[in-house]
Structure 1
């Protein structure tokens, strides 16, 4: 196996040889074999072990084993203890999902702080088969059947082409020691049920079942690549524009596709959407209808569907600006204030006003129903709601309009229109330049 692994690494993952590598090691046979093999091949490795405190003395014994292994190989080891059950309860996660979240948060922190390039995990071909069956049983698209990726961001899985049997044979031939996780024998979890009850029967039906599965998965991955090429092509056809952080999908063009639901699935699933009937229903819904994922919002607005990232919290607070301040952070970007002698070129994000007309502190807030201002260049006042309607802003764009105020009077519909009452005239003695610097 060591020769096959060396060949796989040199042809498929050659960049690992020059990187600083952190091996995620549990103490089980898979991660122990990965550690020994890469050490034998003289790769620059260190070990990272998570003690999730889920199995009492057994968890502590796993930790001690990993520390002893690192010492015997002369490699650095990092240990982190977690209150996994407490984290799961606080974040309303299953124990398994909590452990996964904690594990990868820590790995990411180690890489950032200590400048490791990659985290290596010991997932192998049998893990891939189990994941395939789990996804199949729950219902999934082609990406769920394509298996565990060999590389995902900073995480690399060098043992994916190798079976559990090959790994165990390597361990036995090299007289390696490892730890057995007692929870792996339990059929409480679906993965263990598949591992101990279903997969052995499948392998019993065909001696080359695992190899045939790997071939099939390769075909699926290639098919997924072809599908993605087509989805990218359609994406460019149905997107009318991308404005800042909003994507505008043309409804008419989507409806003209042969399989609108399938295309929407492939275009929008990366954004966390799962309620596909609700998503498809947006095509014929009234304006204002929304569908939410964890981090994104889909909004129906007339002839388009708008995709935008959710704000962490609704902006309800008012930002105060003192006269001495030269800059202030807002949800739209940084507002810069500069005293100047003369007016320069104006733009949507740059205005010049008569400073002596201002009353401090100024404030920045979302526009509200009932707000009005005197649009620059016009006579008389106008409701902000009417102004935004006349500007043909979408519902989503309207929700993100802020106003700069002086003593409750609007000075600027930020990034849109100034108020005529604060314009620079021949009588102006102090000119204030205000500029929105985008984040």
Structure 2
């Protein structure tokens, strides 16, 4: 029965062809030993890989020898490796189970590439599917986490997903298959073991037909997930407006959609945003523009475009400009500032009828108040200056907000420092302390020419 269902599952899911060679991940436990036996009896080409994680001392060594002997009995290639899993987990600050998973799958991928196997087969079965669903529920999940484990995904093949743990055990007894018992499977310190030992039996007691209904439920959830993905893709294409290298989501289109927090959460997940941030983004739509949200790779700004449209602007994070141009004397030629613009400086004695230029791209400063070295650098959070005409100080960030500058204009803004004091927020506002007064004898005029 199990052999017939095994072949039917492989053919229905088109997991591999008779001419393919499959790498089997064999621990020596009952599930993987039954999988290897089924491959052998099917006459399928296969190889065996075993990982010694070094977690159970002599028991691990015995497991490795047992699997090696099994591969020799089948006459198939055998691959063995050993890891210091505990040290690997400590170095990366992850759990032992996560470390073991990362180590084995990286090694499997290497073997597949080197020996041209069609993929790696693992012995996951229906009980694993249920435990995965329950485990995902405890952590919080969407539809994708409720349809368990895929039969084939990213080079990983799971040809026993049709079977239950009980049917696998029955087959092993019928074939009198020897296998190794992993002592850690009885340890309730692992979350999955607690689910296996204490939760799943209760569910089976509530519904003795659970293993018949589970595959149908999983298939419905998978189908629902496919339909949701199609709708998410359709609505994203309808709403998202590309603007250069950025994406704009207009408010009037967003607010017309049902279940907006869920949609935003799913749309923005590939860009590193969380579902909690999606809820905050929806709330920001009814508030003033300017709010920003960041993921490790992207940023979203509640923005108003030059066209007047408001919405969410999604952009990839770029490294913040970081430069310092120091001057120890007045430059005699135009000064290039990181390829964005040039600054010319002209120093002269102040004429009697001198009137400062009101063009914001021109700064007229008292040359004698400027202290070398002069520095041009990007503005930074916390920068303060005394805007022309004001008695008190103001944050540069507040000035840029008051001017309602776009994101790119804010990022391109830089400052001229006299010693440690800001003398000019370039192209925005000069500092009151460096203004030209009746007592000024020498004037320096700085003019910005933006490169096209």
Distance 1:96 1:14, change over 3 A: closer
1:23–1:48 contact (8 Å) kept in structure 2: yes
Q: Aligned with 1:17: secondary structure?
A: coil
Which whole-Å CA distance do the structure 1 matches of 2:285 and 2:161 have between them?
A: 41
Q: Rg larger in 1 or in 2?
A: 2
By how many angstroms is 1:162 displaced? 0.9
Which whole-Å CA distance do the structure 1 matches of 2:140 and 2:225 have between them?
A: 17
Which whole-Å CA distance do the structure 2 matches of 1:216 and 1:51 have between them?
A: 36
Which whole-Å CA distance do the structure 2 matches of 1:194 and 1:174 have between them?
A: 29
By how many angstroms is 1:167 displaced? 1.0
Matched, 1:204 2:205: yes
Residue of structure 2 in register with 1:63 after alignment: 64
Residue of structure 2 in register with 1:34 after alignment: 35
Residue of structure 1 in register with 2:258 after alignment: 258
Q: Deviations over 1:262-294 (max 9, x none)?
A: 111222334443342345445456666444445
Structure 2 length-normalised TM: 0.68
Q: Aligned with 1:15: secondary structure?
A: coil
Q: Aligned with 1:46: secondary structure?
A: strand
Which whole-Å CA distance do the structure 2 matches of 1:103 and 1:2 have between them?
A: 28
1:19–1:118 contact (8 Å) kept in structure 2: no
Matched, 1:305 2:347: no
Residue of structure 2 in register with 1:141 after alignment: 142
Distance 1:190 1:75, change over 3 A: same
The number of residues matched between the two structures is 352
1:17–1:43 contact (8 Å) kept in structure 2: yes
Which whole-Å CA distance do the structure 2 matches of 1:257 and 1:167 have between them?
A: 48
By how many angstroms is 1:152 displaced? 1.6
5 Å matches for 1:89-238? 89-238=90-239
Q: Aligned with 1:117: secondary structure?
A: coil
Distance 1:279 1:115, change over 3 A: farther
Equivalent position to 1:395, from 382, 387, 407? 407
Which whole-Å CA distance do the structure 2 matches of 1:178 and 1:64 have between them?
A: 12
By how many angstroms is 1:36 displaced? 1.3
2:265–2:275 contact (8 Å) kept in structure 1: no
Distance 1:82 1:233, change over 3 A: same
By how many angstroms is 1:67 displaced? 1.1
Residue of structure 2 in register with 1:83 after alignment: 84
Higher alpha-carbon deviation: 134-143 or 278-287: 278-287
Distance 1:161 1:238, change over 3 A: same
Residue of structure 2 in register with 1:24 after alignment: 25
By how many angstroms is 1:9 displaced? 0.9
Q: Aligned with 2:8: secondary structure?
A: helix
2:247–2:315 contact (8 Å) kept in structure 1: yes
1:88–1:94 contact (8 Å) kept in structure 2: yes
Q: Deviations over 1:123-178 (max 9, x none)?
A: 10000011111122332212111111112211111111111111111111111111
1:316–1:366 contact (8 Å) kept in structure 2: no
Which whole-Å CA distance do the structure 1 matches of 2:251 and 2:95 have between them?
A: 38
5 Å matches for 1:280-299? 280-281=282-283, 283-284=285-286, 289-293=291-295, 296-299=298-301
By how many angstroms is 1:75 displaced? 0.9
Residue of structure 2 in register with 1:354 after alignment: none
Distance 1:85 1:316, change over 3 A: farther
1:288–1:395 contact (8 Å) kept in structure 2: no
By how many angstroms is 1:250 displaced? 3.2
Q: Aligned with 2:98: secondary structure?
A: helix
By how many angstroms is 1:191 displaced? 1.1
By how many angstroms is 1:53 displaced? 1.1
In structure 2, stretches of 5+ residues that fail to align are 305-309, 325-332, 345-359, 364-376, 379-403, 414-447
Which whole-Å CA distance do the structure 2 matches of 1:13 and 1:258 have between them?
A: 38
Which whole-Å CA distance do the structure 2 matches of 1:171 and 1:149 have between them?
A: 24
Q: Deviations over 1:210-249 (max 9, x none)?
A: 21122111111111111111111111112111755x5443
Distance 1:201 1:65, change over 3 A: same
By how many angstroms is 1:56 displaced? 1.3
1:366–1:400 contact (8 Å) kept in structure 2: no
Q: Deviations over 1:184-223 (max 9, x none)?
A: 1111122111111221122123321121122111111111
Distance 1:24 1:233, change over 3 A: same
Which whole-Å CA distance do the structure 2 matches of 1:65 and 1:148 have between them?
A: 28
Q: Aligned with 2:117: secondary structure?
A: coil
Q: Aligned with 1:256: secondary structure?
A: coil
By how many angstroms is 1:65 displaced? 1.3
1:285–1:300 contact (8 Å) kept in structure 2: no
